[in-house]
Copies of this chain bind each other. A is one copy, B any other.
């Protein structure tokens, strides 16, 4: 890795494309002046936006891409049409070619994963990718994976995810030996499906140097932050993540309704406004925006498609962190320290 952190941006991705990506990059740049950006997209659109942003005066290269992947393109369509030409592909390609240390896109998740697999390739012996997110907890944050890359799993993939999630947690939380839980329907040994039970046995018996296996955790443990890393299969993980988002929205709606119902409540709201703002900030989904693609030969970060510039900047923050502390080397070191029988 060079001294500077070089991040390639799919400037056309997401619901708002450059209108979010350019100001998002400017916000992130202020926090990390050591970053340079490679912005990939429609040059005619990007050049004036970048020129108008003083925080992006230097260290930004614009690279033209004649095509943008649409949010509703099927992954196979996107790959067929966008390979080599789309802003998404070219942003990933920059990582493969060593021009960037990480890529960030707010585009279509399926297309981004399909292109990343083809362009970057899987990191042997990992066979299937995962997406990890930072989950806000009462104790801070946890790394939770897989939130939707791979549907269906087996024990060795769960173990691989425990390793990759721990590598990410070591970087993000600056820990030597993160605690890891396997998401299950109960904490007793006999509970769950075969994949989870077998993965638990492998993790318990292998006693890995950079990971402390905690045992099974349940859905309630996610919000409590019982472990630094929580591992689960992609179908369940995606539904858990969206259920938590939905519950947070639901309670916010209840709260808003309750505070507007009576005069007393409205007066109370005025007094407690600062407290409500602090609460809102805690529940703000943009704070923890950024899904990290794991299992590939390179760093790719997925931002929410509807993220605000602040949210997109959070995704860049994560890319910066992963690149600066060399996620790829951390994962490889952990794989090297793992007996072959344990991992895939």
Contacts and interface: CB of A to CB of B under 8 A. Distances in A.
Interface residues of A, number: 60
A246 B259 contact: no
Contacts of A268: 267-273, 275
Nearest to A260: B275
Interface string A240-278: 111111111111011100110110110111111111101
A272 B278 contact: no
Given A259-B275, A271-B271, A275-B262, A223 B243 contact: yes
Nearest to A251: B251
A113 B267 CA distance: 50
A185 B149 CA distance: 10
A219 B235 contact: no
A220 B276 CA distance: 23
Contacts of A2: none
B242 A244 contact: no
A248 B253 CA distance: 13
Contacts of A276: 258
A253 B138 contact: yes
Given A219-B239, A220-B243, A279 B262 contact: no
Q: Is the interface of A mostly helix, strand, loop or mixed?
A: helix
Number of identical monomers bound together in the oligomeric complex: 2
Nearest to A252: B251
B274 A262 contact: yes
Contacts of A251: 247-248, 251, 283
A340 interface: no
A275 B261 contact: yes
A326 to B, nearest CB: 31
A127 B264 CA distance: 55
Nearest to A277: B258
Contacts of A239: 183, 185, 218-219, 232, 236, 239-240
A152 interface: yes
A68 to B, nearest CB: 20
A238 interface: yes
A148 to B, nearest CB: 5
Q: Which 8 A-B pairs have the closest CB atoms?
A: A268-B272, A219-B242, A268-B271, A223-B246, A223-B250, A265-B275, A220-B246, A219-B243
Given A185-B235, A222-B246, 5 more contacts: A183-B239, A193-B235, A223-B243, A254-B282, A264-B271
